[in-house]
Amino acid sequence: MSETNIPVTAEIKFNIQVGDELTQNVKPLLHEIKHALDNLIETGRSTIIDLRSIPLAPGEEDKILDTLGRGEVLAQLNALGLSEVIETQYAGVWLVTHYNDEDHIISRFIEVTTMPEILCSQTEDIMAAYSRLTLDLDENQETN
Amino acid sequence: MTDRNNNKDKTPYDKTLGETLRSRGISRRSFLKFCAATASMMAMSPAMIPKIAHALESARRPSVIWLSFQECTGCTESLTRAHTATIESLIFDSISLDYHHTLQAAAGHAAEEAREIAMKENFGKYLLVVDGSIPMDNPGYSTIAGISNYDMLMETAKGAAAIIAVGTCATYGGIPHADPNPTGAVSVGDLIKDKPIINVPGCPPIPVVITGVLTHFLTFGSIPELDHIGRPKVFYGQSIHDRCYRRPFYDKGLFAETFDDEGAKKGWCLYKLGCKGPTTYNACATTKWNDGTSFPIEAGHPCLGCSEPDFWDGGGFYKALSMPTENITQTAIYTAAGAAAAGVALGAMNRSKKNKAITAHDNTTIDDLEK
């Protein structure tokens, strides 16, 4: 039998119930965000929460993201694959998701801050940009 | 303004990791993203990200010699076929992999010469990675370029700063060591006693765990804190059971009894189906596999305990750890009620059963599989 003649019927069905809050970690995490926001208001200190460090059942991360919702800002970075920076509906609470070249999530953070660090231009990159721009202008001058 | 011209005369070993990455056109922002993902995979606080960035940028590019003995190449496959290319390959590409007979282009005398040169030039500083166990009954069972595995290991280990044993074969003997151990297979740690050895077991290990250990060495210049059998606590510090999202079902005494019953469909605990999660220490439940997609228990299969010594002789993959003599449901309820001692006792009972099974070499039968 050739490979193309093999009858293949695949039905992928996860046997997980996502309706229940299995790990009970959703509410405590949302309260942690609330405390971090309070801390930002009172002291100006930022907080980063690594969503991959907390055991979450299938569907629980979505519940957290649904609760936080989406706000006014959506930024996309192209740095070793895509990165998405979203301000949630709660100003000061950002969702930072890093993807690899194949668009798979490699890390996801909730940052409670006025501006996630990854959005800021970095000193080393600014220095390299200055050198590059200087070279480009010199070359232009020579050709003109 | 910049000292980029000063790098001209530097050898690959002199360059810092930061310089290597910048020479490949990787921006500081990309590097920060890499460091954020690294902190996440190493289970470090996000507050450590700037420290990791600083330490990694100034770390020297290390020479790595990778030796493969009695193994299936699954550990190398795990690392090189990882989907998270920007994390694993970034760190993997940033080391100077001077010898790896599966990956290197050189063959025969040229390959062995590369190993000898790397050993000579970096004596006392190179990292030695080993996958596979070492046959001691007859050196002829496994040789490379006519050199026995034992001789090659002992010769190469002499100048190593540290040794990373990758996979359960190199760490504890693995499948070659399983009863009746026809080749007299032993682990790296059985033979080498005078070098720091980091055990990274798993069949295969999670790719980010392999690179995480390399990253830790590069970041801090030291080996990570290890448990009593040489595993980095950051990845192997907690049991699969303790980090499993199905744990609440265990606590409620809700178990799948077969692979197709109502319990299985509802995603209940797989303890009675032979899950070795309670006695297995690894990062599968949080780091997960295939880009964080899932891990065996999430796919509906019990943990086999592959990161533990003698997992192959543990009494049957589908035989529950304490099934024959204990009422698991009752024990689980005690644990749920906060009786920590019951949990500890259960763990001890399971370990004891596993040890007995190893001694008696309890074979897995067709009956076990059909349970």
Average of pLDDT values for B227-237? Answer: 93
B322 vs B251: which has the higher pLDDT: B251
Quick check: B37 and A98 CB within 8 A?
A: yes
B191: number of Cβ within 10 Å = 14
Q: Is A57 on the interface with B (CB under 8 A)?
A: yes
When pLDDT is cut at 50, 70 and 90, the band that residue B78 belongs to is: confident
In a domain, A126, yes or no: no
Quick check: B30 and A127 CB within 8 A?
A: no
- Read off the tokens for B54: 């600083």
pLDDT in tens, B92-139: 666 788 888 888 888 888 999 999 999 999 999 999 999 999 999 998
For B226, which DSSP code? B
Chain A positions in Cβ-Cβ contact with residue B243 (cut-off 8 Å): 55
Quick check: B37 and A106 CB within 8 A?
A: yes
pLDDT in tens, A22-31: 667 888 899 9
A82: number of Cβ within 10 Å = 15
Quick check: B292 and A105 CB within 8 A?
A: yes
User: What pLDDT, on the 0 to 100 scale, is given for residue B354?
Assistant: 53
Residue B300, helix vs strand vs coil? coil
B338: number of Cβ within 10 Å = 9
Tell me the β-bridge partners of B131: B68, B166
Domain that holds residue A57: 20-116
CATH superfamily of this structure's domain B4-233: NADH:ubiquinone oxidoreductase-like, 20kDa subunit (3.40.50.700)
The H-or-E segment that residue B63 falls in is strand B63-68
- Between the CA of residue B293 and those of A105, B288, B363, what are the distances in Å? 9, 6, 33
User: Domain B240-370 classified CATH 4.10.480.10?
Assistant: yes
User: What pLDDT, on the 0 to 100 scale, is given for residue B350?
Assistant: 53
Average of pLDDT values for B167-175? Answer: 97
User: What pLDDT, on the 0 to 100 scale, is given for residue B53?
Assistant: 81
Q: Is A104 on the interface with B (CB under 8 A)?
A: yes
The H-or-E segment that residue B67 falls in is strand B63-68
Q: Is B36 on the interface with A (CB under 8 A)?
A: yes
* Shortest CA distance from A110: residue in chain B: B46
In a domain, A96, yes or no: yes
Largest CA distance in chain B: 74
CA pair distance B176, B180, nearest whole angstrom? 9
Chain B positions in Cβ-Cβ contact with residue A106 (cut-off 8 Å): 37, 40, 84, 86-87, 291-292
In a domain, A139, yes or no: no
Question: How many structural domains compose chain A?
Answer: 1
Quick check: B245 and A56 CB within 8 A?
A: yes
Quick check: B29 and A118 CB within 8 A?
A: yes
Quick check: B40 and A107 CB within 8 A?
A: yes
Q: What is the phi/psi pair of residue B141, to 5°?
A: -60, -30
CA pair distance B313, B358, nearest whole angstrom? 5
Q: Is A42 on the interface with B (CB under 8 A)?
A: no
pLDDT of B161 strictly over 60: yes
User: What pLDDT, on the 0 to 100 scale, is given for residue B10?
Assistant: 56
User: What pLDDT, on the 0 to 100 scale, is given for residue B93?
Assistant: 65
**Alpha-carbon gap: B284 to the closest alpha carbon of chain A (Å):** 11
In a domain, A15, yes or no: no
Chain B positions in Cβ-Cβ contact with residue A57 (cut-off 8 Å): 245
Q: Is B256 exposed, middle or buried, given 0-12, 13-18 or 19+ CB atoms closer than 10 A? A: buried
Average of pLDDT values for B341-356? Answer: 50
Average of pLDDT values for A64-83? Answer: 92
Give span(s): CATH 3.40.50.700, chain B. Answer: 4-233
Contact B304, B317 (CB under 8 A): yes
User: What pLDDT, on the 0 to 100 scale, is given for residue A58?
Assistant: 75
CA pair distance B298, B203, nearest whole angstrom? 18
User: What pLDDT, on the 0 to 100 scale, is given for residue B332?
Assistant: 46
Q: CATH number of the domain at A78, please.
A: 3.30.1370.140
pLDDT of B61 strictly over 70: yes
